[in-house]
Amino acid sequence: MLSNLSGGDLVIVLVSIIISMAIHEATHGYVAHWLGDDTAFHAGRLTLNPLKHIDLFTTVLLPMVLLLAGALPIFAAKPVPFNPDRLKFDEFGAALVGVAGPLTNLALACLAAAVFRLWGPGLSSDVNNIIGIFTAVNVGFFIFNMIPFPPLDGSRLLYAFAPEPLQDLMRQIEGAGFLAILVFILLIFQFASGPIINLENSILQFLLV
């Protein structure tokens, strides 16, 4: 749905990304705070201000480099800091913090789709186009972030159930930081992009058609 976009559509995509990213990241912080960790609060990340969540490399430079290289443009916001040792429910608390962001994106997609289904016929084509793009952006956020590869959010859920040897491997990958994200996007994700796009299209068809 996000292919062959016009200039106006690209602006809508950008605004949708900014709004969705801010809500996604703030939700991580709010859930961590609710579970007993105030790290995000003291870091000023319990906010919907998108400027607090932008990272120069992963939010700005990375998608630009991928676009110039002809690859699928992916971006990541600045991770919301939290201390898993201060959370309730141990590893399961960290899993709740991790999945809170992607599930928020799924909820936003479902909310936008509900508006489309209930009032879409009475709205203009431009408004319906905005709703469709916003829904697609959030479904994309949900699917990508739920991939269980460190440091993506889905890895937090895997941590809670994985045996210790796999957890150790995941910690080593996560310790590589930006390099791990770059290797994942350039090597692993490019091979898996087909099934991921098919899954996204299936979810969008279920929500909007």
Tell me which residues are annotated as active site.
25
Domain that holds residue 177: 7-208
DSSP 3-state of 61 = helix
25 in a domain, yes or no?
yes
| d(C-alpha 62, C-alpha 69), whole Å | 11
Take residue 81 and report the two structure tokens written for it: 């800091």
1 in a domain, yes or no?
no
23 in a domain, yes or no?
yes
pTM of the model: 0.89
How many domains is the chain partitioned into structurally?
Answer: 1
27 in a domain, yes or no?
yes
104-145 pLDDT, tens digit each: 999 999 999 999 999 988 899 999 999 999 999 899 889 988
Q: What pLDDT is recorded for position 103?
A: 97
Please give the radius of gyration of the chain, using alpha carbons only, rounded to the nearest integer.
17
| d(C-alpha 101, C-alpha 120), whole Å | 27
201 phi/psi in degrees, rounded to 5 = -65, -35
2 in a domain, yes or no?
no
DSSP 3-state of 151 = coil
69 in a domain, yes or no?
yes
| d(C-alpha 136, C-alpha 51), whole Å | 23
| d(C-alpha 111, C-alpha 18), whole Å | 17
| d(C-alpha 104, C-alpha 16), whole Å | 14
| d(C-alpha 140, C-alpha 204), whole Å | 10
How many Cβ atoms sit within 10 Å of the Cβ of residue 195? 9
**Residue stretches of the chain with pLDDT short of 70:** 1-5, 62-75, 178
